[in-house]
């Protein structure tokens, strides 16, 4: 379960943040001017093939998984361990009540800086 939860966080990273540039700087040849906004796409970082083997595959027993779903650095999510606990309880309780299920149609997702599935058509016995 712990590796599956980390993999769901990596593969479906729900949160993207932004920052305002304080001082002009260059990263990889790209200039960032003071006052500009920069999107920190943690979801894209988490699918970086240089960081993760088979980055687009959801591998629930992935051994190495240094994902950035909770951000990086000084503003890293303070609720990360509560979030992990909540996810674990939710998945465990779902599987207890609905052990057999399958997708019956396309999943649709919300857009924006906090995202998640909006339609998840399932069938179960
Ligand atoms: C799956 C659930 C969650 C995800 C994916 C998530 C993700 C994130 C991300 C990406 C950041 C921004 C990091 C940055 O700006 O560098 C953040 C910040 C934060 N999160 Fe979460 N979070 C989750 C749940 C929670 C929960 C349950 C709490 C509190 C009970 C929480 C409290 C916070 C707070 C207070 C910050 C701001 C920290 C700061 O600016 O110093 N988060 N979170």
Domain residue limits, the chain: 2-98
Spacing, Cα 57 to ligand 1 middle (Å): 25
Number of alpha carbons in the 13 Å side-chain half-sphere of residue 10: 27
Question: Per the confidence metrics, is the pTM higher than 0.75?
Answer: yes
With a 6 A CB cut-off, is 125 part of the ligand 1 pocket?
no
Whole-number pLDDT of residue 32:
97
- Separation CA 84–CA 2 (nearest Å): 9
Q: In the block, which residue shows the tokens 């990273």? A: 13
Spacing, Cα 118 to ligand 1 middle (Å): 21
Whole-number pLDDT of residue 46:
98
Whole-number pLDDT of residue 112:
87
pLDDT < 50: residue spans in the chain: none
- Separation CA 12–CA 58 (nearest Å): 9
Please tell me the residue having the least CA distance from ligand 1 atom 20: 77
Whole-number pLDDT of residue 19:
95
């Amino acid at each position: 379960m712990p590796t599956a939860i980390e993999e769901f966080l990596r593969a479906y990273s729900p949160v993207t943040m932004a920052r305002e540039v304080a001082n002009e700087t260059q990263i990889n040849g790209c200039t960032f001017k003071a006052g500009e906004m920069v999107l920190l796409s943690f979801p894209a970082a988490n699918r970086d093939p240089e960081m993760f083997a088979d980055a687009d595959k959801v591998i629930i027993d992935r051994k190495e998984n240094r994902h950035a779903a909770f951000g990086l650095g000084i503003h890293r999510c303070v609720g990360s361990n509560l979030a992990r606990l909540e996810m674990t309880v939710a998945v465990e309780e779902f599987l207890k009540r609905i052990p057999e299920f399958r997708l019956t149609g396309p999943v649709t997702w919300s857009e924006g800086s906090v995202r998640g599935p909006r339609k998840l058509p399932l069938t179960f016995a």
